Every structure is written in structure tokens, then in C-alpha cells.
């Protein structure tokens, strides 16, 4: 056991283990991978304090139908680990803590998006600092793992004398583009009234990218929004990170990752997925999940189009009308996740009038589901997706080709990776420019045509790349092992 003398790390407060304080960004797509990262760290011998917001905690508990008071989402994982016992190291050393994001728990964060983002910018940092001052008992034995999009991690880590690990939940390409906003600005592709439209060829590690393939916030001319302020401040903080963990695979983005490693230790450790690509031991869903297995079991192999536009962005009623028309005209069987606020919290039933009757017998619409279970089902033949990064990785892992309709932020750039670089999917249109006839044609081609066969073959190859990366001797396994050893060396763990 390490001694408590000056200059020697004292890890006794955590049973001799180095201590990881893991703070989840309060959006569904960020919560999912960070929960599984926390479990990985616990399995590798770290004591973990997992920090969530009171609002996410409340919504997750209510989705399960349990009382939020006293609910601990890691309880099931702990109980299972205690039954199994070591080896491997148990998952039980995870404590759970909550902070306020500065808004009442019942506040509608979807309907009032900018107020929510403003609270994350202005109010949350002080609440996190108060918590960190309670849970960081030995700074040299502690490190902070925080989402890159937070605006405070490097500042608070320096203030407390702890290491900062920036956790990036999206592709390395997108981190790289945000990291080089200064180059985009200097070259007239961003932060100007009339951005250049020519190909961008000056970002390190990116041979070429079109302005239309940039993240949505980098295509906007008004850069004064609260989201822009968050992005600018977050990447100022990211420059102060001691390490970056990225939920990607080195073989998928080799030149981008190599370029980023010139700046700081950058570890590609993806895909970060639930163990066994099955329902997570720790509940992460912020909406009640429907069990779709019985309906899927009754469908022929490869016959179902799975449709989901994720947990965050919204679509317009016109876009929904065009997509619904294309789905109906295609004749495909479908399972459609229709999040209650997909258009607005004020419009819980946004599908066109008569859609349910026209789709009777071949379609199922649910508010939410366990996506990895659905994608893993043999009946699913394609995925009409918004191209959120979790959805992309899950679809590849399940061997399901994608039809891409990106809505916001990183999703446009993710589509470039899926459709242009990897050829694992096709585009069905853009915001404000999606048409029912094109949706129908693309569904028919992917579900039953020659294009679909080629896409499935390519997705199969990509899945092999992901599987190899996390297998023994694979790049992501090696990178995570290296990261663990570095943090244990730095923090005095055994």
C-alpha cells in the first residue's frame, strides 16, 4: 500500500486504487458511451465515481418506472459483479453522485434548448466544482474523465491538481475539425458572412473535405449562439487536456488520429458498446423502452427497415411527411422509433393523418426501444438513421447498412464517413430537401437491390475491423491497455 508521505500518492481512501471521477454530459447520446467507459475503468481496477445530473437521473429512473429517490443505476451491475467475483476485477467499485445543472428537474430541456445549453455553460460548472471538492480526497491519486463538450474540465482539474482526461464520443475527424477552427477561420471557411465553398485541403490529417460535409455549426454564419459559445470554450479547454480518449477505431481514421497525436496523447479505444452487444447491465435509456422482439420474431429475415432519428435533434412535420410517404410507397416492413418530442414536446403525435391505417400489418411505431437488440435481430435489413455516432457504430457492429438522413451537428460529417469513405450506406436527402420519391427509391435499392448486397458486404468488412480492434492484440485493446497503465503509473495504482 502506498504511504501518505509527501511526494508519495496515498490511495488508501479507495483501497489502494487510483480514483476516476467520470462526469457524464447530460444528453442521451453522451450518457451511453460514458457509462460503458466507467464500467471498463472499474473492471480494470480503478475506483470510479460516476457523476450525472439530477435531471438525467430523474428521467432515467422514471423510464424504468422506479422511484428516483434512492435509485442507483449501477446497483444491478454491482450485484452481478459481486455474485461472479474476481477474476476479472469486479465492477462493484463504482459510486454514484448527482449534481444540479442549474434548472429544475421538471424543466422541459427539449422544448427550451437554449435555456438548457445556457445552464450547462453558466450554472453547471460551479455545481461540479462543489462536488469535486467533496469527492477528490487525494488529488495525485485522482483523475477527471469529462466529456470534451464541457466548458470547465481543464480549469477545474488545474484548480484541484488532478489529471484531466477528455472523453470524445464522436469520430476523431470531428474532434480534428473543431480543434482547427482557427484554420477554418483564417482561410475563410468559417466565421465570415460569405464562407468559401471550395474544398478544404489544409486541415492536418484530412486530405480533403467539402464545406457541406462540415458539422452543422461550422456551416452557420451566425456564430454567436450559445452552442457556438460552448464549442469554442470546450475546445479551449480540450487544449489543456492531459489525455484524450476517443470512441473510434484507429484503422477507420488513421491519418486523422496520427495528426492529433502530434498535439497530445490521443487514444482510439472504440467502439465502446455494452458488453456482449446486449442490453446494458446499467440502465442508460431516458425513455421507456418497448419490447419489439415478439413483433420482429414474426417478420422474415432481413425484411424490416429500422427507423430512428436519435435522442436529441428534431425534424419538421414536412420532413416527417416526406419520409413517411417514402416508407409507405416502398412497401417495406418497418419498425419506427418515434421519440415523443421528435418534432416538439407540444406535438406528441406528428405522423401524417392516415399513416397508421396505411401501414397496418407491416409496420410498428414505438416511442423508444433497446437499439442494440433491434439491430442485432435477424429480421432487420437496413437502418434509416440520423447518423448519430452511437447509431453508426452499433449499425456497423450489427452488420446493418444505413440510409442516412443527418439532422444536426456531427451527423452531417458522420454521413460523409458512412456513405463516401466507407461505402456502408447511402444518403436519402438533406434538411429541407428530402423527398418521398427519393426515400422510396433508396429504401427499395438497399432492402432488395444490387446496391443493398454491395452495402452489406462492405458493412461486413467494417464489422470485421471493429471486432479485430477490440480483440486481443487489436488496436483499441492495445490503446486502452496503454492508457490504463499510464494512468495507474501517474496515479499510483497497483
For residue 408, give the C-alpha cell.
Answer: 444536426
Return the bridge partners of 290, or none.
Answer: 369
Centroid of chain to Cα 238: 18
The dihedral sign for the CA sequence 136, 34, 314, 286 = negative
Domain boundaries, the chain: 12-278+468-491, 293-448
12-278+468-491 matches 293-448 in fold? yes
Which pLDDT belongs to residue 10?
A: 37
* CATH code linked to domain 12-278+468-491: 3.40.50.2000
Q: Domain 293-448: give its CATH architecture.
A: 3-Layer(aba) Sandwich (3.40)
Answering whether pTM is above 0.85, one says yes
410 within 8 A of 171, measured Cβ to Cβ? yes
Q: DSSP for 409-454?
A: TTHHHHHIIIIIIS--EEE---TT---HHHHHHHHHHHHHSHHHHH
- So what's the pLDDT on residue 36? 95
- Going by their DSSP bridges, the two strands 402-404 and 425-427 should be labelled as parallel
3-state helix, strand, coil in the chain (%, to 5): 45, 15, 40
Ranges of residues in the chain with a pLDDT under 70 are: 1-15, 76-77, 80-81, 84-92, 493-494
Look at residue 449 in the predicted model and tell me its pLDDT: 81
Peptide bond preceding 88 in cis form (omega within 30 of 0): yes
Amino acid at each position: 500500500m502506498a504511504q501518505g508521505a509527501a511526494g508519495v500518492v496515498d490511495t488508501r481512501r479507495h483501497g489502494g486504487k487510483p480514483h476516476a471521477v467520470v462526469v457524464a454530459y447530460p444528453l442521451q447520446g453522451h450518457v451511453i458511451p460514458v457509462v460503458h467507459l466507467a464500467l471498463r475503468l472499474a473492471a480494470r481496477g480503478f475506483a470510479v465515481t460516476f457523476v450525472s445530473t439530477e435531471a438525467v437521473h430523474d428521467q432515467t429512473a422514471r423510464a424504468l418506472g422506479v422511484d428516483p429517490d434512492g435509485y442507483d443505476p449501477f446497483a444491478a451491475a454491482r450485484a452481478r459483479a459481486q455474485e461472479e467475483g474476481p477474476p476479472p476485477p469486479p465492477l462493484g467499485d463504482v459510486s454514484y453522485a448527482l449534481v444540479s445543472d442549474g434548472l429544475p428537474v421538471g424543466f422541459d430541456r427539449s422544448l427550451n434548448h437554449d435555456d438548457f445549453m445556457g445552464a450547462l455553460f453558466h450554472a453547471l460548472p460551479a455545481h461540479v466544482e462543489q462536488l469535486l471538492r467533496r469527492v477528490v480526497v487525494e488529488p495525485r491519486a485522482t483523475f477527471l474523465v469529462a466529456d470534451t463538450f464541457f466548458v470547465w474540465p481543464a480549469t477545474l482539474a488545474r484548480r484541484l491538481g488532478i489529471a484531466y482526461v477528455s472523453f470524445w464520443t464522436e469520430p476523431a475527424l470531428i474532434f480534428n475539425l473543431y480543434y482547427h477552427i482557427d484554420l477554418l477561420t483564417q482561410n475563410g471557411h468559417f466565421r465570415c458572412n460569405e464562407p468559401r465553398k471550395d474544398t478544404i485541403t489544409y486541415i492536418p490529417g484530412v486530405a480533403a473535405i467539402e464545406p457541406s460535409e462540415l458539422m452543422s455549426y461550422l456551416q452557420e454564419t451566425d456564430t454567436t449562439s450559445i452552442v457556438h459559445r460552448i464549442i469554442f470554450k470546450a475546445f479551449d479547454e480540450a487544449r489543456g487536456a492531459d489525455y484524450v480518449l476517443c470512441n473510434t477505431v484507429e484503422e477507420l481514421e488513421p491519418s486523422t488520429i496520427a495528426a492529433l497525436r502530434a498535439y497530445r496523447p490521443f487514444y482510439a479505444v472504440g467502439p465502446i458498446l455494452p458488453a456482449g452487444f446486449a442490453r446494458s447491465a446499467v440502465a442508460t435509456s431516458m425513455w421507456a423502452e418497448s419490447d419489439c422482439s415478439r413483433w420482429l420474431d414474426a417478420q422474415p429475415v432481413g425484411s424490416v427497415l429500422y427507423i430512428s432519428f436519435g435522442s436529441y435533434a428534431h425534424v419538421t412535420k414536412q420532413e416527417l411527411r416526406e419520409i413517411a410517404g417514402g416508407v409507405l410507397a416502398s412497401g417495406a416492413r418497418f419498425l419506427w422509433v418515434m421519440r415523443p418530442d421528435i418534432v416538439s414536446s407540444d406535438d406528441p403525435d406528428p405522423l401524417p393523418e392516415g399513416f397508421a391505417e396505411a401501414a397496418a400489418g407491416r409496420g410498428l411505431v414505438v416511442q423508444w426501444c433497446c437499439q442494440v437488440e433491434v439491430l442485432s435481430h435477424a429480421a432487420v435489413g437496413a437502418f434509416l438513421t440520423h447518423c448519430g455516432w452511437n447509431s453508426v457504430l452499433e449499425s456497423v457492429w450489427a452488420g446493418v447498412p444505413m440510409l442516412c438522413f443527418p439532422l444536426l451537428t456531427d451527423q452531417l460529417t458522420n454521413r460523409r464517413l458512412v456513405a463516401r469513405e466507407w461505402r456502408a450506406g447511402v444518403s436519402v436527402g438533406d434538411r429541407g430537401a428530402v423527398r418521398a420519391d427519393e426515400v422510396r427509391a433508396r429504401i427499395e435499392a438497399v432492402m432488395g437491390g444490387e446496391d443493398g448486397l454491395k452495402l452489406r458486404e462492405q458493412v461486413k468488412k467494417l464489422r470485421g475491423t471493429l471486432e479485430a480492434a477490440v480483440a486481443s492484440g487489436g488496436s483499441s485493446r492495445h490503446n486502452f491497455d496503454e492508457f490504463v497503465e499510464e494512468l495507474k503509473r501517474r496515479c499510483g495504482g497497483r
